[in-house]
Amino acid sequence: MDATVMYKITYGLYIIGAKKGDRINAQIANTVVQISNDPITVAISINKQNLTHDYILSGGYFTVSILDQNAPLSLIGQFGFKSGRETDKFTGVNYSTTANGLPYITEHSLAYMEAKVIDRLDAGTHTIFLGQVTAAENLKAGEPMTYAYYRQIKKGGTPPAAPTYQGTQKEVKAERAEKADQKMDKYVCKLCGYVYDPEKGDPDNNIAPGTPFADLPDDWVCPVCGVGKDQFEKES
Ligand code: FE
């Protein structure tokens, strides 16, 4: 079986918000699917280990913020590679809350919806939540981020708890190495799989295209997961 076949399934990229008591949390997810139209229902798949899973179970509601294609890796990293158990994920992020008090992102988000959980399915490592949409609003015009765009253009990695994660970052590296024909070496984040490509630089963090990895400032960190330069290795 070739598990890379799964990479050919198309997805978007979303931030799922939830609330438990007066606490809020949110996480990145690529699995959001509209299931039916009358009433409108959507399904999401959430890893049972995630704090958001606990909040959706106990709060009975979730939100979906639909990310804009220009959303920076730092935003995705904040919600995708850090746990709400250790950090307040909303620090420095513009967000608002629905009438029910659930958080949604207002920065780099094209639209959001809120849904009430009406059913759930145990899928082993994940739970599939079926939600009836209770609120929805467009925030701005733009192109929605797709998972393919995030992986190929933005060079983002996949958190180990994501439904699409396939274990070894080696396969991901091999896939990228095939495409690499530049002279300047690329460097891979050992934690999240983000690839620093000198040709593109890191414009979100003021690193100009054409900056070799060695010339990055000492305080530069992985734009996805936030680790330092010492956690990178040359792409083989
Ligand atoms: Fe990283």
Cα 227 to middle of ligand 1, angstroms: 6
Q: What is the pTM of this model?
A: 0.78
Cα 158 to middle of ligand 1, angstroms: 10
Q: What average pLDDT is seen over the chain?
A: 89
Cα 190 to middle of ligand 1, angstroms: 7
Say what the pLDDT of residue 171 is: 60
Q: Which two tokens stand for residue 182?
A: 């530049």
Question: What digits encode the pLDDT tens for the residues 86-116?
Answer: 888 998 899 999 999 999 999 999 999 999 9
Q: Which two tokens stand for residue 97?
A: 């809350």
**CA dihedral for 57, 58, 61, 63, sign (positive or negative):** negative
Cα 188 to middle of ligand 1, angstroms: 8
Question: What digits encode the pLDDT tens for the residues 203-232?
Answer: 889 999 999 999 999 999 998 888 899 989
